[in-house]
Amino acid sequence: MALLEVDRLVVEFPGRRGTLRALDEISFSIEPGEVLGVVGESGAGKSLTGAAIIGLLEPPGRVASGQIRLEGTRIDRFTDAQMRPIRGRRIGAIFQDPLTTLDPLVSVGKQLVETMQTHLKLSDRDARARAVGWLEQVGIPAAAERVGAYPHQFSGGMRQRVVIALALCAEPKLVIADEPTTALDVSIQAQIIALLRRLTTDHGTSVMLVTHDMGVIAETADRVAVMYAGRIAEIGPVRDVVLHPSHPYTEGLMGSIPQLEHRVERLRQIDGAMPRLTAIPPGCAFNPRCGRVLERCRVDRPDLLARGTTLAACWNMVPMDDVT
Amino acid sequence: MFSFILSRILQAIPVLLAVGFISFAMFAFVGDPVTIMLGQDYTEAQRAALVSQLGLDQPFFVQYAKFVVEAVQGNFGISYRLARPVGALIAERLPATVELALTAAVLALAIGLPLGVYTGIRRNSALSRLIMVFSLLGVSLPTFLIGILLILVFAVQLGVLPSFGRGDVVQLGHWSTGFLTASGRRALVLPAITLGLFQMTLIMRLVRSEMLEVLRSDYIKFARARGLTPRAINFGHALGNTLVPVITIVGLQLGGLIAFSIVTETVFQWPGMGLLLVQSIGVADIPVMSAYLLLIAVVFVGINLCVDLLYFAVDPRLRANR
């Protein structure tokens, strides 16, 4: 059984000028131990998907329909009190900016201890020992001395390591990492990703890795979901999606990545911009920008259609041989 | 830590000198105490004698220098109006004001802080909205009006609490306290509410808005994502971060309670320093006014020092830099 199943999930923001549909019937699943990459432009709904799964949508956002199942149990209708034992304990979260995710007034050791003691039955002494252990695991030097240190005494990269320790310390089955390296120096990004990959492999934790860095996805993820305007455009094994994109949007996304091997005068770009949630065109949301658009694309919204190991929401997929 | 306190005290010395100078300079040019003291009929010789007796014929800076030298020794001169040493006068009035301000401060904090936290956490509940509406009254009604309304209701119409004075006091050494007698405590109720109401609503609104700000922060979201209980989130993480900015303002406000209890003391004829000041201003009693302002400056310097020390206790980011 899949660890997490998201089934036709719809997230809406009711407002004065009508309801905005921020996530429109997205479906995917994550298997135990699997790393699912989620890519897309800003505003495509990547982070929102993560927030919906841990039940921390900002009001007035709400799950309007669809289901989220964790190990077969529906959690999308859970109250806050019902979600609490799940957050941290079964689904961990890593946020984008490590400079703001840690409480500046509480020592990192205490933040670890309180997280573990909330979810696991641990004596103060055991929790403290484990806190030191976690700091060691995430590569904080002199962990035993640093356990009483405060967040401002760590660098950005070190703080993200602490955040990773906090996300994993109650031993969740799934970690949602929301752009964990975006706020970090490029030189540190690879280290953090490698650390996350190593720890989740060691502990058998699944990861939902939200990012807009295709390089990170290609290196770390087992499967990847490409999101566009609140919908999933394409989802499949990383190799297939990267090397043989089926959706024209994915193809455009891959074409816009600079490559060292062959120099090009100008990077290819996708003309136009992603539509705002108030103005999503009928049919396929990508149709105004698509080079392969058909009449049908303007009226009929494509469901996820299978091609080989990949699923793509497209009526006119990129042919296999037509890939650069 | 000790060197920090010492440096703060050293820094306070120029501040106090400046305050002393300004207050002394201001009062040297307001009104003529001699005319008031002599009454309507006096000869020129009487006037000259009094002027030289008070030292008012000397140059301004000489007067100021004398004032400072005397003040450092705890001697603030003789009140023109009451012909008694100012130090003794203020020492007599100090307990009344301190007890009033302290009660008002405790009241303001003990009610304002929890209400602020409550309205911050439950910001959409009906009770929160009700509290917010009432708090508007508290911040917008002037102190004297609140005092008069309270007197009207509780002293005049219901007749349950006294409308003026301090009630019976007990002498503890040099300190006269109203806390120990029933009538003293009863007399304290209305003035303390009057004085504390504005501070209470201010603290409450301040705590509430800081709390709302903090609850939106990333580390609170992350604390939720870690599955912490609402109790741990609100009191373990949100409250502490709320207090950092609140401490500054509350500290200054509480200093203001002592300094500006003048209105309340006047309304309730409370025999404290504020009332003494008002009476002294009426007759241009310069030594009393100068000494009062200096004392208030000392109070503010002291409170600022306490605020800085509290910061160290609350915020580790400051501790690390020492």
Q: Do B237 and A95 touch (CB under 8 A)?
A: no
Average pLDDT over residues B301-322: 78
CB within 8 Å of A94: residues ≥ 6 apart: A160, A163, A164, A167, A175, A176, A177, A178, A180, A196
In a domain, A230, yes or no: no
With CA atoms as reference, the chain B residue closest to A96 would be B218
Please give the residue range of the domain that contains residue A163: 4-221
Average pLDDT over residues B214-226: 94
Chain B residues with beta carbon closer than 8 angstroms to that of A54? 225
* pLDDT band of B67, cuts 50, 70, 90: confident
Q: Quick check: B226 contacting A, CB < 8 Å? A: yes
* pLDDT band of B70, cuts 50, 70, 90: confident
In a domain, A18, yes or no: yes
Q: Quick check: B168 contacting A, CB < 8 Å? A: no
Best A54, A90, A101, A160 member to test B by mutation, with max B CBs in 10 Å, is: A101
CA distance A247 to A233: 7
The interface pTM score, or ipTM, of the predicted complex is 0.90
Average pLDDT over residues A136-140: 92
Please say if the pLDDT value at position B30 is more than 70.
no
Chain B residues with beta carbon closer than 8 angstroms to that of A147? none
Q: Identify which of A105, A119, A163 has the shortest CB distance to residue B227.
A: A119
Within a 13 Å sphere around the CA of A135, how many CA atoms are in the beta-carbon half?
26
With CA atoms as reference, the chain B residue closest to A149 would be B316
- Please, what is the average pLDDT of chain A? 90
Best A56, A105, A162, A168 member to test B by mutation, with max B CBs in 10 Å, is: A105
Q: Token pair of B272, please?
A: 């404290």
Report the C-alpha dihedral over residues A254, A257, A262, A265, rounded to 10 degrees: 110
Average pLDDT over residues A44-63: 92
The shortest C-alpha distance from A56 to chain B (Å) reads: 8
With 0-12 / 13-18 / 19 or more C-beta atoms within 10 angstroms meaning exposed / middle / buried, residue A240 is: middle
> How high is the pLDDT of residue B31?
66
- Please, what is the average pLDDT of chain B? 85
Is B74 strand, coil or helix? coil
- CATH number for the domain harbouring residue A73: 3.40.50.300
Q: Do A170 and B227 touch (CB under 8 A)?
A: yes
* pLDDT band of B320, cuts 50, 70, 90: low
> How high is the pLDDT of residue B295?
87
Q: Do A118 and B227 touch (CB under 8 A)?
A: yes
Listed by start position, the domains of chain B span 91-282
Q: Which residue has the higher pLDDT, A108 or B288?
A: A108
Please say if the pLDDT value at position A219 is more than 90.
no
CB A38 within 8 A of CB A211: yes
CA distance B40 to B46: 12
> How high is the pLDDT of residue A160?
94
- Tell me how far the alpha carbon of residue A91 is from its chain's centroid: 12
With 0-12 / 13-18 / 19 or more C-beta atoms within 10 angstroms meaning exposed / middle / buried, residue A226 is: buried
- What's chain A look like in SS3? CCCEEEEEEEEEEEECCEEEEEEEEEEEEECCCCEEEEECCCCCCHHHHHHHHCCCCCCCCEEEEEEEEECCEECCCCCHHHHCCCECCCEEEECCCHHHHCCCCCCHHHHHHHHHHHHCCCCHHHHHHHHHHHHHHCCCCCHHHHCCCCHHHCCHHHHHHHHHHHHHCCCCCEEEEECCCCCCCHHHHHHHHHHHHHHHHHHCCEEEEECCCHHHHHHHCCEEEEEECCEEEEEEEHHHHHHCCCCHHHHHHHHCCCCCCCCCCCCCCCCCCCCCHHHCCCCCCCHHHCCCCCCHHHCCCCCCEEECCEEECCCCCCCCCCCC
> How high is the pLDDT of residue A323?
47
Q: Do A114 and B228 touch (CB under 8 A)?
A: yes
Q: Quick check: A46 contacting B, CB < 8 Å? A: no
CA distance B290 to B24: 6
Average pLDDT over residues B241-254: 84
> How high is the pLDDT of residue A264?
66
Chain A residues with beta carbon closer than 8 angstroms to that of B317? 104, 150, 152
> How high is the pLDDT of residue A297?
92
Give percent of chain A above pLDDT 70: 98
Q: Quick check: A47 contacting B, CB < 8 Å? A: no
Give percent of chain B above pLDDT 70: 98
CA distance A220 to A95: 18
- Of the listed ranges B25-34, B57-66, B192-201, the least confidently predicted one is B25-34
**Which CATH number is B91-282's, of 3.90.550.10, 3.40.720.10, 1.10.3720.10, 3.30.9.10?**
1.10.3720.10
CA distance B24 to B26: 5
A259-318: pLDDT as tens digits: 777 666 677 778 888 888 888 899 999 999 998 899 999 999 999 999 888 999 999 998
Domain count, chain A: 1
